[in-house]
Structure 1
Amino acid sequence: MSYTLYGSPKSRTFRVMWMMEELGQEYDLVPAAPQSDEIRAVSPLGKVPALKAGDEVIPDSSAILTYLADKHGALTAPAGTVARAKQDAMTFRILDDIEAQLWTAARHSFILPEGERVAEVKPTCRAEYQRNVDKLMAEVDGPFLMGETFTIPDIILTHLANWAISAKFPEPSADFAAYLKRTRARPAFKAARDKQ
């Protein structure tokens, strides 16, 4: 199977790059900005990343991560198991409770037309992000989110922590910083980062 990844390493595309490194899969990276001609040529959504797997195109970073993990049998619990349902619940929680705060702040910083931005929402986003991360970390029982095994939600949460730094969100707590030290120490993370 040949893979072509469309997007920018400084976006959610990094998640897929990291997954590819974890899986040891080769891929071509085609630089593409959101809503650019390059991305619209393969995905009418105009969002990055998009993954071309053979002749098929898969949009959305979380969908791509799930597809790759299932296809290559790694970084995930098997589909149809309770462990997978719990892993998916963790992924959805991170997207709903943590990523949503960063995305809302970004929309009101530079994405929405200037007249539609409401700067006053950003402090609330930062506070909610911190509360949600702290609550999540208090529940983690293991080196990774799902225990002893590194999985999809670890990639997403670590990427969000990196995004939070550039967005000047609160510094990670001691527990979160220790968790991030473990995930960022992975050789695949470093390999993906070096390709930025």
Structure 2
Amino acid sequence: MALTIYGSPRSRTMRTLWMAEELGIDYDHVSVNWDDPWLKTDEFLTINPAGAVPTIDHNGFGLGESLAINLYLAKTFSPPSGEGLYPSDPRVEANVWRWSLWAQQHLEPWVRRDGGKPVYSGATAGFALAEAHRELDRLDATLAARDWLAADRFTVADFNVACVLSPSRTPWLEMERHTPTAAWLERCYGRPAARSVRARFNAAPR
């Protein structure tokens, strides 16, 4: 199966690169920045009409949005037994989607950075940090009782939430206040695939 990943590793594309590494997928990587004019050409827009990265082209199927890409790749390349990153049990699958959607809608708005720099300042920064702590408290409540989010093993739910809490974002979040989440992040980013892809591209996942 031919897979091409478009985007700079110093962006959310690192999420896709990590997923490919985790699944052991062979792929081609085209490093292109988010503001490259080529993304607005007809050639690229036929792959992703949004003209954005990360994007994948998998045997002619184009897909954007990093967390959606992760869900697609995990489901496509996990074994039918349901023992891989993507579960076969529909209830566990529902929790995978629940956590992924929660991460994008309720967590990422408060922890995101642009080029490694805060997107909020002044009083707004304080509000964003308070909201981030509130969501992290919810994550703590789950992880205080279990090692992983959706199943008794690492799944794409853990992957997607951990991607939103990447090493480029957590230093300012006072993670010492969130011991269960901090320990879980160490387990996620301590995985061989995470270490390997970060070393290869010399970048912290975004």
Q: Given the two structures, how large is their TM-score scaled by the length of structure 1?
A: 0.84
Give the partner amino acid of 1:150. F
Among 139, 145, 148, which residue is 2:142 paired with? 139
Q: Which runs of 5+ in 1 are unaligned?
A: 112-116
The alignment status of 1:88 with 2:97, answered yes or no, reads yes
Give the partner amino acid of 1:33. N
Contact 2:15 2:163 in 1 (8 A): yes
Q: Secondary structure at the match of 1:163?
A: coil
Shift of 1:133: 1.0
Aligned to 1:191: 196
CA RMSD of aligned residues (A): 2.3
Are residues 158 and 110 of structure 1, via their aligned partners in 2, closer, same or farther at CA, if it must alter by over 3 Å?
closer
Shift of 1:90: 1.3
Among 68, 73, 77, which residue is 1:63 paired with? 68
Q: Given the two structures, how large is their TM-score scaled by the length of structure 2?
A: 0.80
Per-residue displacement from partner, 1:19-60 (whole Å, max 9, x unpaired)? Answer: 111110011111111142343324231321000111221111
Among 159, 164, 169, which residue is 2:173 paired with? 169
Contact 1:18 1:155 in 2 (8 A): no
Are residues 19 and 122 of structure 1, via their aligned partners in 2, closer, same or farther at CA, if it must alter by over 3 Å?
same
**Structure with the larger helix share:** 1
Among 157, 160, 167, which residue is 1:156 paired with? 160
Identity percentage of aligned residues: 27
Distance 1:159 1:64 in 2: 12
Contact 1:39 1:50 in 2 (8 A): no
Give the partner amino acid of 2:87. A
Among 90, 100, 106, which residue is 1:97 paired with? 106
Give the partner amino acid of 1:76. Y
Contact 1:7 1:39 in 2 (8 A): no
Distance 1:71 1:5 in 2: 15
